[in-house]
Structure 1
Amino acid sequence: MGIVIMNNSVSVDGFIADEHDDVGPLHDWYWNGDTPITDVGDEGYDHSGAGTGFKVSRASAAYVGPIWASIGTIVMGRNLFDLVNGWEGRPPAGDHVVVVSHRPKPDGWHPEASYHFVDSVTEAIAKARELAGERTVAVNAGDVGGQILAAGLVDEVAMDVVPVVFGSGKRYFGSIGGQHLLEDPHEVIQGDRVLHLRFKVRR
């Protein structure tokens, strides 16, 4: 069975977006290099207007590429699903998405896409593992990610730290309570305007 990894771009003071869900410069590093993350077309996620898809620094591509290639299922909350409209049924990595929500999938929304709506974080990880098989389950940070970590269901935490201070906003770990220890980072990769950190969760 694959690992469960919680991942997101984050400001140096721990925020994944401001109060209005604006990510500001947190994702700029996805388009500031000349090396594609994947071999497949990802123009649908291009915010640069150039239609070229994700292009990052060589160091970031060497780090992110293998992680994305290993992903079988993404777990996200309903807020993010609504913000990006579920990436129009085409997740940036993996073949399946599990959405934690008390509301069902919108009627008629991309029936061909492997998107599954569940009520709880424990059900989400069970379904995501079933769908992913031996591949990685990637959990988006935020309130849902924090709940999954608090439930002891996250194996690793990966942070793409961007040199910006937000001051306030949506926290990487959501409203998680209590203390949760991580091991020393086993990967520390400096990209262009981003520092990639990866920690195992201490059991």
Structure 2
Amino acid sequence: MSRFQYFVAASLDGFIATAKDDLAWLLEFDGFEGGKESYESFMDGVGCIVMGGETYAWLMKHEPGKWPYPSTPCHVFTRHEHTAPAGSDITFVRGPVREFIQDFKDAAGGKNVWVVGGGNLAAQFAAAGYLDELILSVIPVVLGDGKRLLPLEGPTAPLELTASRTLGRGIVELRYNLNPADTAG
């Protein structure tokens, strides 16, 4: 059964990007020990990607002409008009996340749905009760401010830690179940 997963990296103080969407602090850690294996293992279980318009625009600006997920269906929530790069399987959508849940599950074909981000989109999934798992790589950097990891209106119920491990360069990967009563997804 498809699970909705938020696989993300954040600073020690809980930010996924600077206020100006700068990721230089994160890119300093490219190639850390265990990172590639963690990502590849995660991607093996992904059948559909969902991302916000700002994340999509960042990818298009920083990876012009190159789509990093050519074989995976992707849905982009946006209020703006965008074009999809050649060779991509992208659907642009507008509206509440709950209206598209079955579409995402169908596109995933029994695999998981990766809620790439940003944090605002992941928070919409969490608030609607559709975010099953948070897979967080804590990067040993303090940003001070920026784009929050999961900007919810209030606190969540206690999350269930299902796994943790230390990777290279002081990075810690934590896996949390957001719906502890529903471990099957």
Deviation at 1:92, TM superposition (A): 4.4
2: distance between equivalents of 1:171 and 1:190? Answer: 23
Matched position secondary structure for 1:31: coil
**Residues 130-149 of structure 1: pairs in structure 2 closer than 5 A:** 130-141=106-117, 142-149=119-126
1:75 aligns with 2:34: no
Match of 1:53 in 2: none
- Give the structure 2 partner of residue 84 of structure 1: 59
Residue 101 (structure 1) aligns with: 78
Instruction: Tell me, in whole angstroms, the C-alpha distance in 2 between the residues paired with 1:132 and 1:81.
Output: 19
Indicate which of 144, 150, 154 corresponds to 2:131.
Answer: 154
TM-score computed with the length of structure 2 as normaliser: 0.84
SS in 2 for 1:102: coil
Could you state the TM-score of these two structures normalised by the residue count of structure 1? 0.77
Distance 1:105 1:125, change over 3 A: farther
What is the percent sequence identity of the aligned residues? 26
Tell me the residue number matched to 1:195: 172
How far apart are 1:13 and its partner, in Å?
A: 0.5
For the 8 Å contact 2:71–2:88, the answer to whether it is kept is: no
Who is 1:27 aligned against?
Answer: 27
Q: Which runs of 5+ in 1 are unaligned?
A: 33-56
What's the counterpart of residue 180 of structure 1? 156
Letter in 2 for 1:200: N
Q: How does 1:3-14 map to 2 (within 5 A)?
A: 3-14=3-14
What is the CA distance between 1:160 and its match in structure 2?
A: 0.7
1:102 shift after superposition: 2.2
Shift of 1:8: 0.9
1:168 aligns with 2:148: no
The DSSP-based 3-state class of the residue aligned with 1:30 is coil
Q: Aligned Cα RMSD in Å?
A: 2.1
Q: Which residue of 2 aligns with 1:128?
A: 104
Give the match's secondary structure for 1:179: coil
Distance 1:71 1:115 in 2: 15
Residue-by-residue CA offset, 1:141-186 (whole Å, 9 max, x unaligned): 3111111111101110111100011110000113x11221243311
